[in-house]
Chain A
Amino acid sequence: ECRLGGSAKRSYSITSCASVFQVNVRDALNQAMDEELERDERVFLLGEEVAQYDGAYKVSRGLWKKYGDKRIIDTPITEMGFAGIAVGAAFAGLRPICEFMTWNFSMQAIDQVINSAAKTYYMSAGFQTVPIVFRGPNGSSAGVAAQHSQCFAAWYGHCPGLKVVSPWNSEDARGLLKAAIRDDNPVVFLENEMMYGVPFELSEEMMHKDFVIPIGKAKVERQGTHITLVSHSRCVGFCLDAAAVLAKEGVECEVVNLRTIRPLDVDTIEASVMKTGNLVTVEGGWPQYGVGAEICARIMEGPAFNYLDAPAVRVTGVDIPMPYAKILEDHSVPQIKDIIFSVKKVLNM
C-alpha cells in the first residue's frame, strides 16, 4: 500500500500501486491555491472574507493562517475598487487572485475585468501583461434567488483577451486553477457552489504539485457512439447521470466536458459530432446568446455540420430570473430528465 507523503520533494514516477485520494472540489481549489502561493511569491489572494473568515465558502480556509496579511488580503465590500487594485497589481508584476464572493457581484467591477484587464495586452501591442485570476462561484446555487444565481459564462466568454474557465470536478478545479494562476493572461475562473462539497477521486499524478490541465482543451468524460452531449461545470455531472440511464436503453452518449469556455475547444466537439452525428448542449445559463448557442453556430459553420443527422439542440436554464420557492427553482434549471428527453427527441426515439 503506497502513501503519498512528503510529495513536495518526491519526483513524479508511475508507481505500481494505485493511490487515490478523495478530495472535494473545495479542498482541490484550496490545495491548488496553497501550492501556487508557496511556489511563487508574487501570487496573492484578495477578496471579501478570504482571510480571517477563511473564505465565505471556506475555499481559502487556512491560507491566512499560513501566509499572513501580506498575501491573503481581506477587502472592504467595494468590488469595483478592489478589482481595479488587483488589476493594477498585475500590471506592476504581481500575480493576484481576485475573488468575487459570487460572480453576481462582479457586475459591479465588470469594467475593470473587461476594459482594464482583458483589453490591455492588445491595446498596448503586447507591452503590458495582466497575469490575474478572477475567481468565485458562478451560476445557480440553492434557494438564493434571482440576484445571486446568474451564470456569467456567456458574458465573459464573449470577450477577446480573457480566458474563461469552468471546472466541473476536483481534477478540473485543481488542474485548471493551477494553470490559471500560472497563466500570464487574465483568467475568469467560474466555480460552482453546489460542487464545492462533492468529493472525487484524484490520482497520485493529479496530486502532484505541478499537475496542470491545459486551458482551452475539453475532455471526453465518457465515450459514446450515438450522440454527443457537450456541457460545462455542474451540468457535466447531470449529463453523465443521463448517459447512465440512457445506456440501459441502448443509447450510448459521448459526454464532453468543455472545461474551458474561451478559448472554446471546437476541435474536440467537432471530432465527437463527426463520430456520433448528433449534438445536444447542456448548460445552466440562459438560452439567449449563450454557450450552447455559440457551440451550435460553430458546428453549423464547420465540417461537422455535414455529419449531423438532426439539428443540434440546446438544454439550458429557463429564460427567467431565478425564483425562490424550491419547486420553482427546480424547474428553472436543466434536470436529468430534460437531458434524456432531448436526447430521445434528437434521436427520434
Chain B
Amino acid sequence: MQKMMTLISNVLRGSVSRNAASVVVSSRSYADFTPEATFDIKKVDLHRLEEGPPLTSTLTREDGLKYYRTMQTIRRMELKADQLYKQKIIRGFCHLYDGQEACAVGIEGGITLSDHLITAYRAHGYTLTRGGTVREIMAELTGRREGIAKGKGGSMHMYTKNFYGGNGIVGAQVPLGAGVALACKYLGTDQLCVSLYGDGAANQGQIFETYNMASLWKLPIIFICENNQYGMGTSVERASASTEYYKRGDFIPGLRVDGMDVLCVREATKFAADHCRSGKGPILMELQTYRYHGHSMSDPGVSYRTREEIQEVRSKSDPISMLKDRMLSNNMASVEELKEIDIEVRKEIEDAAQFATTDPEPPLDDLCSHIYANEKSFEVRGATPWTKLTSHS
C-alpha cells in the first residue's frame, strides 16, 4: 500500500516550480490583471517520437477562467449527482468523474467542437465539454423527459453533436471511434476523432485490433488512455503485464502526460491533433489521472486503496486547485472573481438539480419510440398479447 502511495504521489505530485511563470507584461489592460502567462509544464514521456509537446504553455486569462469554470462545473455536477444518488433520485449505474476534470477540459482545449469524441461510461464530464448542459445531463441522470436522451439512455448513454457517448461495454467505444475517424478521412475533412478508454479497458483485444487497422489505414484518431490507476477495484499492477499504457500501441507513437494538469493535457492534445491532421495516422496519449470516487456509486472506493492515498492526491494534485493557484499567483484573476464563479456554478447546479427532480418522467407513449429511424409508426408487442403499443420514429 505504502509503495503504491509513493508510486502514485510521484506520478501526480505537482512540482513547486510549476506555478512559477514568466509573466508577459506587454501592455497593461484596464482590468489590472495579467492577460496571459506562460507556465512550465511537466515533460512528457515519449514513445516512438523524436519530439514531444512544448515544455511550456501559455495561458490567457480568458481561457484560464473558462477552464476554471468548466472544471468547477464538472466537479460540482458530479458531487450533486453523488448526493442525488444517495437520495435514490438517481438509480442504476453512476460513474463519477471528479478528480479527472483536467482531462476532459484539457482535451477540449486542444481540439474544436467540429472534431469528434467518444468515451466509455464515465462520461458526464465529456457530455458537458462537448456541448451538453448541466440541466439536460442531470435530467437524464434522474430519468426525466427533458434529459439529454429523453430519459431513455441514463448515465452511460448521452449524446451530443460529434459526441458518440457514453458507451456501456468496456472497450467497444474504441473501434467505434476509429470508425468515426474513418468517416472523417473518407469525407475529406480535416477533422479527427478522440477515442478514450481506461486503464482497465486497455487490455481489451478489440483495442489492439483497432490499433492495427487505424495504423494500416492512417486514420485520424487520437487514442487516449485515461489511467486513473484502477479498473474498478483492480489496480493497474494487478491487471496489466505492462502498465506503460502509452507504449501499448506498439507501432503507434505515444505520449504519457500528467492528466491532473489541464495545461499539460491541452498541449499534448494539440500536439496529437497536429500529428493526426498532418496525415501521419493515429497517436496514443496516456493521461495519468485519478478519480476521487469509487468506480461507481456502489463502490465506496476504499477497499482497494487507502483514504490516505485519496487525500494525498486531493491535497497535492487537484486539477482545479492547481489552475487556481497558478492564476492567483500570477495575478490572472482575483480571489473574489473565482469565488464569484464558484457561486454561479453552485447556483447553476442547484437549479439544474431542482429541475432534474421536478421535471416529469417520460410519457408512456414514448416507451416504444425510437426503435427505427425514418419509419412510419408500427405496432410493438407489449408484455401481453393484448397490449398493443405503438412505436414512433
Contacts and interface: CB of A to CB of B under 8 A. Distances in A.
A80 interface: yes
A75 to B, nearest CB: 7
Given A84-B179, A124-B157, A263 B172 contact: no
A68 interface: no
B175 A184 contact: no
B176 A263 contact: no
Contacts, number: 152
Nearest to A88: B179
Given A123-B149, A125-B370, A184-B373, A76 B174 contact: no
A128 B164 contact: yes
A92 B152 contact: no
Interface residues of B, number: 49
A124 B210 contact: no
B164 A121 contact: no
Given A88-B180, A91-B164, A94-B186, A112 B175 contact: yes
A81 B210 contact: yes
A145 B218 CA distance: 38
B167 to A, nearest CB: 7
Interface in A118-169: 120-129, 131, 160-161, 163
A121 B372 contact: yes
Given A70-B186, A85-B213, A123 B179 contact: no
A236 interface: no
B206 A84 contact: yes
A249 interface: no
A180 B92 CA distance: 36
Interface in B360-393: 366, 369-375, 378, 380, 385, 393
B177 interface: yes
A246 interface: no
Interface of A: 44, 70, 73, 75-76, 78, 80-94, 96, 111-112, 115-116, 120-129, 131, 160-161, 163, 184-185, 263, 301-302
Interface of B: 116, 118, 149-153, 157, 159, 164-165, 167-169, 172, 174-184, 186-187, 193, 205-206, 209-210, 212-213, 216-217, 366, 369-375, 378, 380, 385, 393
> Which 8 residue pairs of A and B lie closest in terms of their CB atoms, listed nearest first?
A88-B179, A84-B175, A81-B209, A92-B183, A125-B150, A88-B176, A78-B209, A301-B385
